[in-house]
Amino acid sequence: MSTRDLLRLIWANLNRMRGRVALTAFGVVIGAAAVLVLVSLGAGLQRSAISSLGDIGELKKIYVMPSEMSDIPVMVTEPGGAPGKQGGGQGNKPRGLTQQRLEELRGVPGVAAVIPTEELMGGVEMKLGRAVGWSQIMGISLDDMAALGMQIVQGELSLLSGQMVVGARVHENFYDPIRGSNVPISNLLDETIILVAQRWSETGEMSERTLRLRVVGVLKEGGQSDYQVFIPQREVQKLNEWFTGKRIDRTREGYNQAIVVAQSTREVAAAQEQIRALGYQAYSAMDALASINSFFTILQAVLGGIGAIALLVSAFGIINTLSMAILERTREIGLMKALGARNRDVMSIFLGEAASIGLLGGLVGAGVGWGLSRLGNLVALSYMQQSGGGNPFGPADADIVYTPLWLILITILFATLVGLISGIYPALRAATLDPLKALKYE
Amino acid sequence: MIQARGLRKTYSMGRNQVHALAGVDLAVAAGDCVAVMGPSGSGKSTLLNVIGGLDRPSAGSLQVNEREVSQLDENELAAYRRSTIGFIFQSFNLVSTMTALQNVEFPMMFANVSPRQRQRRARYLLEAVGLKARIDHKPTELSGGEQQRVSIARALSNLPRILLADEPTGNLDSHTGAEIMALLLRAQRESNLTLLIVTHDPAVAAYAGRIVHMKDGLIVENV
Ligand SMILES: Nc1ncnc2c1ncn2[C@@H]1O[C@H](COP(=O)(O)OP(=O)(O)OP(=O)(O)O)[C@@H](O)[C@H]1O
Ligand SMILES: [Mg+2]
């Protein structure tokens, strides 16, 4: 029997019991839609969680700090001390990331760049007109910004004295200090922002120091830098000296933090491992990525399993419908055999009918599931807008439910497979009917 | 063509055994037309079904075209039914959802005949049995005689060597029965087929060149 004839015969048979086929396929529709929606939900949450980690550039970064617990065993020639003496840590030995240690980090395989960063050691407000804003203020050099792969969408990448570069979402964080309400600012480019550093003396007196900086560039959105403000490293150092009342000599003391940029995301895990082995603290978004991925793989398996149960139930519907069809068509099966049909032909016809019911249910179910996912996103979006909060798992505009193409295909395939497997028992029964008994069946 | 020796078919009904065929010896030459008669329950249908490969004998030998039919496996038996045998039933056994044309095409599907060739042959056969105007009718839209004509066309579709007809006129009036018999004999003569007809009707049996009488699973008279 040719495949074309087989398909035609299957189609005709399904058509003649279309009422029952529709009802049976409806069970599959529910199962397939459930699988699609639930796994889409898992995939959407996973995507949101991953995108909240930032873009690829962010995933290549390893944040390195000196170990809190023990001193880093680096050979240091101390004044008055024996060369090569390890440990100690009496305060005279610097704990920070000195040039020597930065070089050590640069020597780790897979590392593309090591960028020491200067973080502020006290509170600093940003003032723009009457509006007040807060942001993480980072001291950095122009070269290092480029090495970090920072991209400008407005203005230029420049960090001369008196200039600053802001993250893509910094403009959202300005408030009216009296009313407490958000001050909408459309664009910070070319605005002059005044940084106000505050310090309390031991007697409780407050003193202020201001710094005027012009915004020359706005960074591309995506990742950690969205809410950060970048100013020349020297400016941060000066503010820190003012905060602490001490002169800071980074060449001697070293930095408190450095960003290590890996050559590629594949290098991150190994490089991070080695940096830790050298005795530093090292964190990266890849840590989170691995645990996010393993968590969501389990979540999707559980959600998919729940949907699969619905699909499993529909399998009994298919078995039932086919068993009834076989009873009704017993004489016809006998006839086919008398006319010379092989057991394999009879088997293929009933298997094909079962698989077609699965396929039909899978196609409609995938469509329904996709529609429900879209609807779910709309509802979630309007709910989030009402409650004022964003997507708690990621960017505010991202979908909660995400249906990748492979999921649609897998769902349809899976439903077809469920149909096919459900058909095995009835089809075997039909194929092995005794032709004579079948012909005499009333 | 057909050579049966000591052919037996025994049904076990609990502790009782029914000998539907109790040792049949029969030889039919190619191109013969044989009528099988006998009282109800004498084993006529059983003999026909065993010869047609629908049923397996319990003992004895059955050779068709020098091949031992009782030794064939499931697939070989299907091929045997498909290519060597054409069945005609008392109750027609047409597929009710298919048109006359589709019913005649049906066996050719299992023989992998191409759709074009299939249609051509089915049209030709339906025309030959006088149903040119009924090609697209479903069985429920046909009279008994017309249905039996469709089933004769169907039996001829795969160019069989042997036609087996179990009371082909049993559901028809005598006039229509005579028409069907004439048709069967014409087909038999035109293609030099071997024809076995089971019947209770002496008038039908009179068409055959040879009459075999059965009783209690045995051939008692071979004229
Ligand atoms: N499947 C079966 N199981 C048990 N006994 C059977 C079976 N089929 C036939 N028989 C018995 O075998 C015997 C022969 O049956 P068969 O159908 O061949 O008779 P027949 O000559 O064709 O009768 P009729 O003229 O009524 O059609 C009968 O006694 C019948 O009861
Ligand atoms: Mg009979």
Ligand 1, pocket residues at CB < 6 Å: B 11, 13, 18, 20, 38, 40-46
Whether B169 contacts chain A with CB within 8 A:
no
Mutate to test the pocket of ligand 1, among B7, B16, B46 (most ligand atoms within 8 A of CB): B46
Whether B55 contacts chain A with CB within 8 A:
yes
**Ligand 2 mean position, distance from CA B14 (Å):** 22
Whether A22 contacts chain B with CB within 8 A:
no
- Please provide the average confidence, as pLDDT, over all residues in chain B: 94
Interface of B with A in 135-164 (CB under 8 A): 154, 158
Domain-embedded: residue B81: yes
Tell me which residue of B58, B3, B55 sits closest to B28, measured CA to CA.
B3
Domain count across chain B: 1
Most A-contacting residue of B9, B109, B150, B158 (CB-CB within 10 A), to test interface: B109
Nearest CB partner across the interface for B93, out of A335, A343, A344: A335
Whether A18 contacts chain B with CB within 8 A:
no
Whether A178 contacts chain B with CB within 8 A:
no
Q: In the prediction, which pLDDT does A78 show?
A: 41
Calpha distance B4→B26 (Å, rounded): 5
The residues that bridge with A116 in the sheet, in sequence order, are A258
Distance from CA of B203 to the nearest CA of A (A): 27
Residue at token pair 């505010």: A396
Domain-embedded: residue B132: yes
Residue A75 has pLDDT above 60, yes or no: no
Angle between helix A343-387 and A330-338 (nearest 10): 130
**B168-188: pLDDT as tens digits:** 999 999 999 999 999 999 999
B54 contacts A439? CB cut-off 8 A: yes
b/e code A339-376 from CB counts within 10 Å (16+ = b): bbbbbebbbbbbbbbbbbbbbbbbbbbbbbbbebbeeb
| Alpha-carbon distance values, A419 to A425, B19, B174 (Å) | 11, 44, 51
Q: Which residues of B touch A342 (CB under 8 A)?
A: 74-75, 78-79, 110
Calpha distance A243→B39 (Å, rounded): 122
| Alpha-carbon distance values, A179 to A169, A199, B111 (Å) | 22, 25, 88
**What DSSP line would sit under A238-307, residue for residue?**
HHHHHHHTS---HHHH-BSEEEEEESSHHHHHHHHHHHHHTTEEEEEHHHHHHHHHHHHHHHHHHHHHHH
Distance from CA of B208 to the nearest CA of A (A): 24
**A170-212: pLDDT as tens digits:** 888 889 888 888 888 888 899 999 999 888 888 888 888 899 9
Interface of A with B in 332-351 (CB under 8 A): 332, 335-345
Residue A51 has pLDDT above 90, yes or no: no
b/e code A401-425 from CB counts within 10 Å (16+ = b): bbbeeebbebbbebbbbbbbbbbee
**CA-based Rg of chain A, rounded to a whole angstrom?**
34
**B64-93: pLDDT as tens digits:** 999 999 999 999 999 999 999 999 999 999
- The pLDDT of B113-135, averaged and rounded, is 95
Domain-embedded: residue B20: no
Tell me which residue of A283, A271, A372, A343 sits closest to A38, measured CA to CA.
A372
Write phi, then psi, for A200 (nearest 5 degrees).
Answer: -105, 135
> Which ligand has its closest atom nearest to the C-alpha of B217?
1
3-state class (DSSP) for residue A379:
helix
**Ligand 2 mean position, distance from CA B148 (Å):** 17
Most B-contacting residue of A339, A347, A428, A437 (CB-CB within 10 A), to test interface: A339
3-state class (DSSP) for residue A209:
strand
Residue B119 has pLDDT above 50, yes or no: yes
Q: In the prediction, which pLDDT does A139 show?
A: 87
Whether A328 contacts chain B with CB within 8 A:
no
Domain with B130 in it: 31-45+75-222
Pairing of strands A124-128, A192-200: antiparallel
The encoded tokens of residue A118 equal 């200067």
Whether B97 contacts chain A with CB within 8 A:
yes
Distance from CA of B176 to the nearest CA of A (A): 24
ipTM of the complex: 0.95
Nearest CB partner across the interface for B110, out of A4, A12, A339: A339
Q: In the prediction, which pLDDT does A100 show?
A: 87
Q: In the prediction, which pLDDT does A130 show?
A: 87
b/e code A55-76 from CB counts within 10 Å (16+ = b): bebbbbbbbbbbeeeebbeeeb
- The pLDDT of B28-46, averaged and rounded, is 95
Calpha distance B212→B2 (Å, rounded): 14
Q: In the prediction, which pLDDT does A56 show?
A: 67
Residue A73 has pLDDT above 90, yes or no: no
pTM for this model (two decimals):
0.74
**A323-332: pLDDT as tens digits:** 999 999 999 9
SS3 content of chain B, % helix, strand, coil (to 5): 40, 30, 35
Residue A144 has pLDDT above 90, yes or no: no
Confidence band (pLDDT; 50, 70, 90) for A397?
low
Domain-embedded: residue B130: yes
Domain CATH number, residue B129:
3.40.50.300
A16 contacts B109? CB cut-off 8 A: no
Neighbouring CB atoms inside 10 A of A239's CB total: 23
Distance from CA of B86 to the nearest CA of A (A): 8
Whether A437 contacts chain B with CB within 8 A:
no
A1 contacts B78? CB cut-off 8 A: no
